Structure 1
Amino acid sequence: NSSVHQSSVYLTGLNGRNYFDVRAMHFDVQEDTPDDNASARSGQQPWVLPSLDYAYIPDASVAGGQLSLNVNARVIRRDELDDTFSTPIQRVPGIEGESGRLTAEAEWKRSFVTDGGLVLTPLLALQGDVDYLNASSASLTAINNMAANLNEQADMRSSFARYMATAGLEMRWPVLFSMASGSSHVIEPMAQVFMRPNEQYVGGLSVPNEDAQSMVFDATTLFERDKFSGYDRVEGGSRANVGFRYSGSYNNGWGTNAIFGQSYQIGGENSFAAPDLVNVGANSGLDTTKSDYVGLFGINSPNGFAASVSGRFDEQSFEIRRAEVKAAYSGLPVSLSAKYAFIQAQPLYGFTTDRHEVTLGASTHLAENWRVFGTGTYDLQQSLLVKDGVGFAYNDSCFTYLMTYSQSRDLNTREVSQTIGFNLSFRTLGDFGSSTSAVDTIQ
């Protein structure tokens, strides 16, 4: 977040398909607050002590299929309550106090190809976690008030354990068309069915949500088994994802790709319609029995040009809920990018008006190893430059150095946040530093 500075200490290991990462983080406010005291909101920023991710995939097959194991853990401490829309309270994105979670997950899947070319992939998954919470009285009061304002129940527990077992089947039927012109096209109808129990403790505001607060349902997440962005929330209930994928290649080097489909809650409780401390599923397009439609179409060329258009459309009226148009050129010495995004208002999720944003970015090489870049995002609805940033980078065979400066402006208060970031990466030792999302587009 460009409003805060992140300090972190971490250890990362890679070995083939296996991954290990453990880190401790702290966030400090980098902006001027209304009372000119930048520390006034620092207490709302969390200490992460620690965060751990471990992923392991054995080289040998298990029962003819692939087994994968994942472990995730986090401990978060916050000195001050972070609540939003305090009159009345409708979101509590940060609990004052300490919370922790340890999650372990195992997944097995194996693909079979029938004589007719149908690809069948059965899947079994089991996830379990243990959680604890030591919340302040102010946090519990805010949660109770939020529950009352939303006509929901609050049942925040000091500790609990939960599990999620999934049995799934994926069916794909890729069909290849070879044209006389030399082009080839693959159309792949696809369906997934996941059978599982309801998400536990989902009947009220009872689960802290620190790492699953971001929710974007689009074509890239349509065929995900669990569409939540983190482990604090677990998708429950039985669901079917149906659609198709397409890819095309042409003898002139151009390519095309597309995805379109819809998701269905076919049994149990819909996790995305359940109450949550940040209303993460509200207005997501997944909070109804039949989801919104999602689609994407993209093209790419051999000379570095690529473009795509994507959207989410109302499942009844086909009204546009979210849309993005992107175009980019990557080459020497100049790279360019442009994006237009429309996001319909999501009041319960914290965005009370529609957003129309245009983002432009550029990067150019000044010399063999030196590059400068910049980007800016303008909100057409609010007539406001939301984010802008510039930076430079040095890159050679030994290391990469990156320095960035960015500004961001709050849509409601017009407060300006300024951030300086840097990153130093050695080819054989890894990297350290901080960066800002305001200049990620064109790096």
Structure 2
Amino acid sequence: MRSQLRTGAALSTLAAMFVSGAAFAQTTAATDAAAGDGLGDGGVYVDAQSATRQGDLITAQGAERGERALVRSRGYTLRANQVAYDLGTGVASAAGQAEIVSPNGDVAYASQLRTDAELQVGVAVDFATRLSNGSSLMAATAVRRGESANELNYAIFTPCPICDEKGNPKTPSISIQAEKVVQDEELRAILYRNAVFKVGGVPVLYLPFFSHPDPTVERASGLLVPIINYDDGRGLSVETPYLHVVSPSEDWLISPQFNGRVAPFLNLQWRRRFDDGTIVLRGGYTYERPFGDYDADGDGEADIPLETESRSYVLGWGRFDPDGPWRWGFTAERTSDKTLFDRYDISSPYQDNGLYFGDQRRLISQLYAERQSERSYVSVAAFSIQSLRVAQTNEDALGLNVFEDDDSLPVVAPLVDARWEPEAPMFGGRLRLRGSAVALFRDAYVGSPVLRPEMIPATTLGAGGVDSRRLSGQAEWRRIVTTRQGLRFEPFVDLRVDAYSIGDLPPALGLDDATITRTRAAAGVDLSYPLFKPLRGGASLILEPVGQLLIANDPDLDPRIPNEDSQTSALDETSLFAVDRFPGYDLLEGGARVTAGARATLRWAGGRTASLFVGRSLRADREDGFRVPIPDNLTDLYDPTGLADRTSDWVVQADFEPSDRIRGRAHALIDSSGDIRRAEAALDGRWGRRNLATVNYIVDRSNPVEGPLNRNYEFVQLTAQQFVYGNWGVATAGIADLDRDQITRSEVGLLFDDDCVRFELGYRRDNTRVRPTGPSEGVYVRLNLATFGGSGYGRSEQR
């Protein structure tokens, strides 16, 4: 920046000091400019109505009512009604509608300006500039004092537009007005004296002194925007994050949370970038009793001891990608309390940062490495899981909810997955080889659906967790053949071998540890015949019937093999035609089956589309090995997969986009009786310039019998915003639990939104059953401002 300040007029440098990013070096700017205009380093170009020269002083005058005079030198272009330039000293001055353009395109304006060759002193009167990020800066005078200080007097800065769409002036939504603004280049900071913050032109805050990092600084230490919240358990809560920048590649975020009713909670985050990777570690700590509803009998006292003790969490991850085919990483996720995140409103605790993801309300700690080349892939991982899921809700006292037992979840060490594909075709087709190995260890007994119905003992007394190890190998060959008529054949052969080692089966079964092997050989052909028909008005219709014939041997579903990775099957248009339609290895299909479906796609003007797919599969024989006991009635079996009967569920998928403002999608699994087993649908709509709404619906009816462990659910989620007058509108969001006939979460608020600020003030209620404090309600405030200088941090959850 300093070299740039020494090359051109003071006015341009005063504008550039508010522009983030690296400046051009003097020699680079001058060389490039000289190369572009042919002036050389010392040449001057003048274009004016009249120009005179007395010695080294050139004076150019513009037309009385017309074009301004123009002087160009060293890559800078200066326009004004009158311009004077001293060739010997390099002193330049301009008066009347002065405008200067630097070599990198920055533009600034003034009524008068003057600078010397070394830029030790520079003055601009009625200074104004529009920065590259859309911000505007204006001052009565702008002065450069010495090498490291720039001073603006009676200045106004705003990140908001100062003109409407028609070019008429308007009051910016947010601005800072100050008696004096000084940029200290050595401190890399901008200092304000008598600063007044205005919202809509109305003063809302006065500070005698105020400072923030120079926008040329990518990150700088300092306080971030505080987070204000209210919760029935914590009371009024204020979180005050402070960013401490250690170096360009390392920083800390210290974010204490001060609560009205309970002890403070300290959040910390450390980030470090390396040459080939990144590490992010988050953590939090407090010393407090658990708070919430622990009184189930209503006598006014907690039903369990509530002790004051240390409570904490850690959420960390790292990824490293050195040169070569190998890369590796880790995640470390644990919490001392099942409801800590809910009680203290920790932001974004469930993130997908590793090779394997923990699903909602489950934390995963893992170490992994993977190698990928053009024709191969291999990964090795080990992980353990902590569950924060509620297994059984206590409606009388949510603080006494029963959570999923962590000992019932396996420790996976290791999990190996490998794939290889030779470059040369084999028998005119493509060959793929795949291998997999896994070892799982459990401390606690788990019945269905991990154990098959015939392996569930009459008594679980003394039963521990079943341990299992699996080694699998698979080879798949496919070839695509297309006839002249457009019929596409894809014959395939699929061979698979599994070997299991099972240990610690329930003692009541009287079975020893066992080694089990099984094989599956499958062959078949996929067929498709796309048909295209042009319609009037440039529209078209595409109809694509697809089918599959597959024959395989009996997979021999040994009941001693636990089902760890194939407890559900989410059929869709793609997986319906897969050889293995389960997500994992433990369940295996065999026998003969025919699968058929069709997709119709309509396209018409303006890129509008609509498509529908319907398909299902027919088996030669039933497969009762896919059935599991109903959770609250172990003698009654049901099929959670939709693949046990001779006919599978119907798969129905639809997508439609009738305009660039409306888009929808739907997916459903429908059983043979016409009942919906699972379904989800979403509709996005926009109208006007900023009005929008999104509706999501999801239902699961795969468990046919009611009971305390029933996992059926049905939800509707809505988010919308509607502007009523100018930038003012209303916003709403909510989730409805149709099974319980209850609004789980809801909020409605007043909204102001323009190009540089979004403000919401409203009411919200949280009625989730996980919260130990019960329903929470209150007023919320959300404020998002156009950035004055980014910190690199953000919160994915709005508040």
Cα pair distance change 1:219/1:50, threshold 3 Å:
same
What is the identity, as a one-letter code, of the residue corresponding to 1:60?
A
> Match for 1:21 among 379, 389, 394?
379
What amino acid does structure 1 have at the position aligned with 2:607?
Answer: G
Q: Once structures 1 and 2 are overlaid, which stretch shifts more, 345-354 or 50-59?
A: 345-354
Distance 1:349 1:113 in 2: 51
1:404-443 alignment runs, 5 A limit: 414-416=769-771
Q: Give the superposition deviation at 1:277.
A: 11
Q: Deviations over 1:4-26 (max 9, x none)?
A: 32101111233346432221101
Offset from partner CA, 1:45-72 (integer Å, 9 cap, x none): 2211011112222332211111111112
Letter in 2 for 1:161: T
Aligned to 2:569: 215
Alignment counterpart, residue 682 of structure 2, candidates 321, 326, 330:
326
Cross-structure match for 2:623: 270
How does the TM-score come out when normalised to structure 1? 0.70
Structure 1 window deviating more from structure 2 (286-295 vs 184-193): it is: 286-295
Q: 1:206 to 1:77 in 2, by over 3 A?
A: same
Determine which of 170, 173, 181 is the counterpart of 2:537: 181
| Mapped contact 2:569–2:642 kept (Cα < 8 A) | no
Task: Name the residue aligned to 1:287.
Answer: 644
Deviations 1:363-407 (A, max 9, x none): 9xxxxxxxxxx997542111356799xxxxxxxxxxxxxxxxxx9
Q: Secondary structure at the match of 1:82?
A: coil
Matched, 1:110 2:479: yes
Matched, 1:59 2:413: no
Q: Normalising by the residue count of structure 2, what TM-score does the alignment of the two structures yield? A: 0.41
Counterpart in the other structure of 2:443: 79
Please report how far the alpha carbon of residue 291 of structure 1 lies from its aligned counterpart in structure 2 after TM superposition: 2.3
Bigger Cα displacement from structure 2, 274-283 vs 98-107: 274-283
Q: Please state whether the residue corresponding to 1:43 is helix, strand or coil.
A: helix
Q: Do the aligned partners of 1:208 and 1:277 also contact (CA within 8 Å) in 2?
A: no
Describe the SS at the equivalent of 1:297: strand
1:156/1:206 contact within 8 Å kept: no
Q: Do the aligned partners of 1:243 and 1:262 also contact (CA within 8 Å) in 2?
A: yes
CA RMSD of aligned residues (A): 4.2
Asked if 1 retains the 8 angstrom alpha-carbon contact of 2:455 and 2:560, the reply is no
Q: Is the 8 A contact 2:361 2:388 kept in 1?
A: yes
Distance in 2 (CA, whole Å) between partners of 1:166 and 1:239 is 11
Which structure: larger Rg?
A: 2
* Residue pair 1:52, 1:73 contacting (<8 A) in 2 also: yes
Is the CA contact 2:372–2:378 (under 8 Å) kept in the aligned structure 1?
Answer: yes
CA offset at residue 90 of structure 1?
9.9
Question: 1:16-415 maps to which residues of 2 (within 5 A)?
Answer: 16=374, 18-30=376-388, 41-83=405-447, 96-137=465-506, 141=508, 158-202=514-558, 205-266=559-620, 268=621, 270=623, 273=626, 282-300=639-657, 303=660, 305-315=662-672, 317-328=673-684, 337-347=694-704, 352=710, 354-360=712-718, 377-383=735-741, 414-415=769-770
Give ranges in structure 2 of 5+ residues lacking alignment: 1-358, 457-462, 722-731, 747-765, 774-795
2: CA distance between counterparts of 1:362 and 1:172? 41
The CA deviation at 1:155 is 7.9
Q: Which has the higher contact order (CA 8 A, sep 6+)?
A: 1
Counterpart of 1:392?
A: none
Q: Which whole-Å CA distance do the structure 2 matches of 1:221 and 1:358 have between them?
A: 26
Q: CA 1:257 to 1:48, structure 2 compared with 1: closer, same or farther past 3 Å?
A: same
How far is 1:345 from its partner?
4.7
State the secondary structure of the residue aligned to 1:291: coil
Query: Given residue 130 of structure 1, which amino acid in structure 2 is its aligned partner?
Result: A
Mean CA deviation greater in 169-178 or 30-39:
30-39
> Quick one: structure 1 residues 31 and 320, their matched pair in 2 at CA, closer, same or farther if it must change by over 3 Å?
closer
Report SS of the residue matched to 1:181: helix
User: Which residue of the other structure, out of 356, 366, 384, is the alignment partner of 1:8?
Assistant: 366
Question: What residue identity is the alignment partner of 2:436?
Answer: N
For residues 85-121 of structure 1, give each alpha carbon's deviation from its aligned partner in whole angstroms, at most 9, with x where no partner exists. Answer: 9xxx9997x9704211011111001111123221111
Unpaired segments ≥5 residues, structure 1: 145-153, 364-373, 389-406, 419-438
- What CA distance in whole angstroms lies between the structure 1 residues aligned with 2:422 and 2:734? 44
Using the TM superposition, give the Cα deviation of residue 298 of structure 1 relative to its aligned residue in structure 2, in angstroms: 0.6
SS of the equivalent of 1:252 reads helix
Count how many residue pairs are aligned between Structure 1 and Structure 2.
368
Give the distance between the partners of 2:587 and 2:467, measured in 1 at CA. 18
Percent identical among aligned pairs is 24
Q: Structure 1 residue 408: deviation in Å?
A: 11
Letter in 2 for 1:356: E
